[in-house]
Chains A and B, each alone.
Chain A
Amino acid sequence: MTLAKRIIPCLDVANGRVVKGVNFQNLVDAGDPVELAKLYGVVGADELTFLDISASVEERSTTLGMVARTAEQVFIPLTVGGGIRSVDDVDALLRAGADKVSINTAAINRPELISEISDRFGDQVLVLSVDARRGKTPSGFEVTTHGGRQGAGLDALAWVEDATSRGVGEILLNSMDADGTREGFDIEMITQVRSRTRVPLIASGGAGKLDDFALALDAGADALLAASVFHFGTFTIHDVKEFLSKKGYSVRL
């Protein structure tokens, strides 16, 4: 066998709780990150991502406790993103039990942060999250901030090249055009980014049908991240993997 394509559920958390709701049956507390993380671990998630959308510093410190409780009980890799601005933020998350961190706006504001983190902890801890959409930049794709509402004035492909040269382990590519549409991953964007970087590419945004996952892999994604289709039971992680396996993709069943 070869390296399995990864399927990664993403949970939004704030103040130590999962927000935006998760619609599973037989779940006593759908807001408990530990319970959800355990469940996703059991049903075959290859990794887990927490996106911390806490508004305040106090809430962020609660996130650390939540990460620690999760890491105590869940034995698959855990990535935490959201609000990370310094090497100290990364240190605190890794000490709490995160395996990787993802950074986004802070790296755009100060690209040196990338090498500061990778020099200290290694490239492999750092997932560069890129929120991109179609725009008037040389490649036709621009980086955005604030959940896709503001352009960052950066060409997405140039940014991926610049950032990876500074030392990142993976790229998490979120298509702001496809996000929430459930009309499929952004194949063109995945293809373009894949051609510009050697690091593994996690694609996100737009998953709606099982076939979407296969198309994104064909475009060059190494891993696929999704939130609502899993949380609301459109299909399970196992459904996705079984589908991909039947189509001949390498997955961990």
Chain B
Amino acid sequence: MIAILDYGSGNLRSVQRAFELTGIKTVITSDPKLCADSDGLVVPGVGAYGACMKQLVDVGGREIIMNQVAAGKPIIGICVGLQILFERGTEKGGATGVGVLPGEVSELKSQILPHIGWNTVSSGKGTKLFEGLDGASFYFVHSYAAKHTVPDAVNSWTEYGEEFLSAVERGSVSAVQFHPEKSGANGARLISNWAKTL
């Protein structure tokens, strides 16, 4: 069973449905015990960085994520769920993130924002998430991104105005800037690849 962290942000039902298609049992919850007992944790998220962090902190989600990471259990952040795993976001005056990944997320240098639509990912060497998916397209909706290499991690990249980190895998922590639950067959494959790490 995996837990989908419910902190009032994100398209929880779509995420749940997409993960269930792989045959995994899921629960949408913010209960610390249920999360701790789960085999893996999904951190969704849409909207502004600061607003998401506030909602996360309000339900004790920060501790849930940190405990999951400390226990070495798989976790996957999606979209703003990726961004809040970093130390800081610069959106709307800036906000502190959970900080289980180093560095900050900042606005993309592109003439047209948000970055909306299908774009390709060049996956990093040794990736598990993108097995069979190198160069595949995924659906993105965001204006902010991490743009630095995360040390001791598999870093995967996408180009929109500039190169940004579209996915990172470090130990038990995975995160994707795109929406696998909205990325058709490629998204399903990625979710199923992640499920194999459980």
Contact = CB atoms under 8 A, between A and B. Distances in A.
A124 B118 CA distance: 15
Interface of B: 11, 13-14, 17-18, 46-48, 51, 111-120, 135, 137, 139-143, 159-160, 179, 181-184, 187-188
B160 A124 contact: no
Contact of B11 (A72, A97, A223): A97
Interface string A5-42: 11000000000000000000000000000000000010
A76 B160 contact: no
Interface of A: 1-6, 41, 46, 68, 71-72, 75-77, 94-95, 97, 99, 121-125, 169-170, 198-200, 222-223, 252
Nearest to A75: B184
A149 B181 CA distance: 39
Contacts of B184: 41, 75-76
B13 A124 contact: no
Given A75-B188, A124-B142, A223-B117, A200 B112 contact: yes
Contact of B47 (A97, A122, A170, A199): A122
Nearest to B180: A75
Contact of B119 (A1, A68, A71, A99): A1
A199 B143 CA distance: 10
21 contacts: A1-B135, A3-B140, A4-B117, A5-B117, A6-B118, A41-B184, A46-B118, A71-B17, A75-B18, A75-B183, A75-B188, A76-B183, A77-B179, A97-B13, A99-B11, A122-B46, A124-B46, A124-B47, A200-B117, A222-B117, A223-B117
Task: Kindly name the residue among B18, B116, B137, B143 whose own CB sees the greatest number of chain A CB atoms within 10 A.
Answer: B116
Contacts of A68: 13
A60 B116 CA distance: 28
A32 to B, nearest CB: 19
Contacts of B135: 1
A222 B160 CA distance: 13
Given A99-B14, A122-B47, A4 B119 contact: yes
Contacts of B160: 2-3
Contacts of B116: 124, 169-170, 200, 222
A76 B114 contact: no
Contacts of A75: 14, 18, 181-184, 187-188
A198 B113 contact: yes
Contacts of B143: 123-124
Nearest to B11: A99
Contacts of B13: 68, 71, 95, 97
Task: Kindly name the residue among A3, A46, A94, A99 whose own CB sees the greatest number of chain B CB atoms within 10 A.
Answer: A3
Contacts of A72: 17
Nearest to A223: B117
B182 A77 contact: yes
A81 B162 CA distance: 32
Given A77-B182, A122-B48, A222 B112 contact: yes
Given A71-B13, A198-B112, A76 B119 contact: no
B126 to A, nearest CB: 22
